[in-house]
Structure 1
Amino acid sequence: MNKINYKKEILENICYTDLVYGRINKKLNLALSKDQIEKMILTIIKETDEIEFHKKGKNIYINNMDRNIRLTINSFTNRIITAAKING
């Protein structure tokens, strides 16, 4: 996958595991439903500029500085791995 296409590819193919919802709620100190988490993740990806998408190894890291959130996505499966606060 070419760097230029990361955002489009992820938006079209993102997927989730059952465990990731709990992980995201825990890491971000939230209590959101599965639907709310998916909506939040899509919003973060859409509003993050392509230059903030960085591939390292098998993962793509998306840094949204406005929300202070980093998303980690598997570049082969487009599966969200986790979300974490950048500043803290």
Structure 2
Amino acid sequence: MLDNSELLALIKERVCYTDLVYQRVNTKLKVDLSRAEIETLVQAILGDQQAMLKKRGKNYYVTSLARHTRLTINSFNFRLITADRI
């Protein structure tokens, strides 16, 4: 079983995106970021040593208090589902 930091590193390495998720992230976070900027933001959150990771059902929830953002990632295929302000 992986610890949280190892699991975050694995997610960071394997996270993937759909065309729809870029639009969803911009809508939910009320921003207008490019695809590259969204991917950079996600990588920064996943690389944050203070990020909190929880698994609920089939999803991982990665929370960055510093960025006031929570990522929802599918635990089976590591696909980003959405991002929310917290």
Task: Give the TM-score normalised by the residue count of structure 2.
Answer: 0.90
Question: Which consecutive unaligned segments of at least 5 residues does structure 1 have?
Answer: none
Q: Which residue of 1 aligns with 2:64?
A: 64
Q: Which residue of 2 aligns with 1:20?
A: 21
Q: Which residue of 1 aligns with 2:8?
A: 7
Distance 1:23 1:55 in 2: 21
Q: 1:17-57 deviations in whole A, cap 9, x for unaligned?
A: 0000000000000101101110111011101436x100001
Q: Which residue of 2 aligns with 1:85?
A: 85
| Mean Cα deviation higher: 31-40 or 5-14 | 5-14
Amino acid of the structure 2 residue aligned with 1:41: V
CA contact (8 A) 1:59 1:73 kept: yes
Identity among equivalent pairs (%): 44
Task: Give the TM-score normalised by the residue count of structure 1.
Answer: 0.88
Distance 1:48 1:59 in 2: 20
Q: Which residue of 2 aligns with 1:35?
A: 36
CA contact (8 A) 2:61 2:72 kept: yes
RMSD over aligned Cα, in angstroms?
1.4
